[in-house]
């Protein structure tokens, strides 16, 4: 069964895509928690951060997160979040990196 994010990347489910390369795709979150809220999603459907992410892919996702943050004009800063598993609040079982910005974000998270 393809994951929800594979179905988005295949175009079966529409999305507002802001970036893509051979390794990952970035699209806007359907339920944004900040003025800018995008998801950096590897094309390979790794379930979570706890499931075999390698250093090269992890690094690429972070480099792309910063690239898109600059593209989105987040010059005052931004936050990168990876929710992992049930306690981490992960709801889609396809690894993804949240990039949030456009307002001052609170800390700690709930
Ligand atoms: P997480 O809770 O960390 O697994 O984040 C999953 C995110 O995915 C959540 O912020 C909402 C987003 N999301 C869920 N369904 C869709 C969808 O169909 N389209 C888009 N663009 N985002 C979605």
pLDDT for 59 equals 98
pLDDT for 48 equals 97
Q: What is the mean pLDDT of each run of 10 residues along the chain (110 residues)?
A: 97 98 98 98 97 95 98 98 98 98 94
Q: Whose CA is nearest to atom 3 of ligand 1?
A: 90
Q: Whose CA is nearest to atom 15 of ligand 1?
A: 30
**Which residues line the pocket of ligand 1, CB cutoff 6 A?**
4, 8, 13, 15, 27-31, 39, 83, 89-92
Distance 104 CA to ligand 1 centre (A): 22
**Contact of 90 with 83, CB cutoff 8 Å:** yes
pLDDT for 106 equals 96
> pTM for this one?
0.98
pLDDT for 52 equals 85
pLDDT for 49 equals 97
- The rounded distance, in Å, linking the Cα atoms of 39 and 29 is 6
pLDDT for 62 equals 98
Return the active site residues.
Answer: 96
pLDDT for 110 equals 81
**Contact of 68 with 55, CB cutoff 8 Å:** no
What does 5-35 look like in DSSP terms, one character per residue?
A: HHHHHTTSS---EEEE-SSEEEEE-SS-SSS
């Amino acid at each position: 069964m393809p994951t929800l994010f594979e179905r988005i990347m295949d175009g079966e489910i529409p999305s507002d895509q802001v970036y893509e390369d051979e390794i990952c795709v970035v699209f806007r979150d359907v339920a944004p928690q900040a003025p800018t809220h995008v998801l950096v999603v590897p094309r390979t459907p790794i379930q979570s951060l706890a499931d075999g992410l390698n250093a090269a892919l992890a690094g690429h996702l972070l480099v792309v997160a910063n690239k898109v943050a600059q593209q989105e004009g987040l010059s005052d800063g931004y936050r990168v979040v990876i929710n992992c598993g049930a306690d981490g609040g992960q709801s889609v079982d396809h690894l993804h990196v949240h990039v949030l910005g456009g307002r001052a974000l609170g800390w700690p998270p709930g």
